[in-house]
Amino acid sequence: MSLSPGAPDAAAQISGLVFAVLLVDDKDRIVEANPAAEELLGRSARRLEEMSLHEAVAIEDERLREGLGKSDSRVIARGISLETGVGTRRVNLTSSPMQAHPGWRVISLSEVGQEGNDRGDEERVELRAPAVLAHEIKNPLSAIRGASQLLARRASERDRPLATMIEGEVDRIAQLIDRMQQLGSSSPVKTGPCNLHEAIRNAMATVRAGRDDGCELVEEFDPSLPAVEADQGALEQVLINLLANACDACCDVENAQVIVRTRFVSGLVFSAIRLGKAVRMPIEITVIDPGPGLPPDLHDHAFEPFVSGKKNGQGLGLALVRKLLRDMGGRIAHERDERGGLTHFRINLPVADRNES
Question: Is 192-356 the same fold as 16-111?
Answer: no
pLDDT at 115: 42
Return the axis-axis angle of helices 160-184 and 317-327, rounded to nearest 10°: 30
Type of residue numbered 332: I
Type of residue numbered 9: D
pLDDT at 259: 96
Query: What does residue 337 show for φ and ψ, rounded to 5 degrees?
Result: -100, 90
Classify burial at 161, counting beta carbons within 10 Å of its beta carbon; exposed 0-12, middle 13-18, buried 19 or more: exposed
Print pLDDT tens along the chain (357 aa): 455 566 777 777 777 777 888 998 988 899 998 888 887 787 888 888 888 888 888 777 777 877 777 767 788 888 777 777 666 777 888 888 888 888 898 988 887 754 444 444 444 444 555 555 665 676 677 778 788 888 888 888 888 888 888 887 777 677 666 666 666 566 667 889 999 999 999 999 989 888 877 789 999 999 999 999 998 988 998 999 899 999 999 988 888 999 999 999 865 545 444 444 456 788 999 999 999 988 877 777 777 766 666 665 556 778 888 888 888 888 888 888 888 899 999 999 989 976 654
CA-based nearest residue to 263, from 197, 332, 330: 197
Q: What CATH code is assigned to 120-184?
A: 1.10.287
Q: Give the Cβ contact number of residue 38 at 10 Å.
A: 22
Q: What CATH code is assigned to 16-111?
A: 3.30.450.20
Query: What does residue 202 show for φ and ψ, rounded to 5 degrees?
Result: -60, -45
Domain range 192-356, its CATH number among 3.60.20.10, 3.40.50.12780, 3.30.565.10, 3.30.70.260: 3.30.565.10
Helix, coil or strand: residue 300: helix
Buried residues in 116-141 as b, exposed as e (16+ CB within 10 A): beeeeeebbeebeebbeebeebeeeb
The torsion of the CA quartet 236, 347, 252, 308, rounded to 10 degrees, works out to: 90
pLDDT at 288: 96
224 within 8 A of 257, measured Cβ to Cβ: no
The per-residue DSSP string of 157-201 comes to TTTHHHHHHHHHHHHHHHHHHHHHHHHH--PPPP-EEE-HHHHHH
pLDDT at 217: 95
Kindly list the strands in the beta sheet with 75-84, ordered across the sheet, starting from the edge strand earlier in the chain. 30-33, 20-24, 105-111, 87-97, 75-84, 58-59
What whole-number distance in Å separates Cα of residue 102 and Cα of residue 17?
25
CA-based nearest residue to 123, from 268, 282, 286, 319: 319
What pTM was computed for the model? 0.58
Helix, coil or strand: residue 338: coil
pLDDT at 92: 85
Whether the CA torsion 203, 209, 210, 215 is positive or negative: it is positive
Segments making up each domain of the chain, as ranges: 16-111, 120-184, 192-356
Helix, coil or strand: residue 63: helix
Q: Give the Cβ contact number of residue 354 at 10 Å.
A: 9
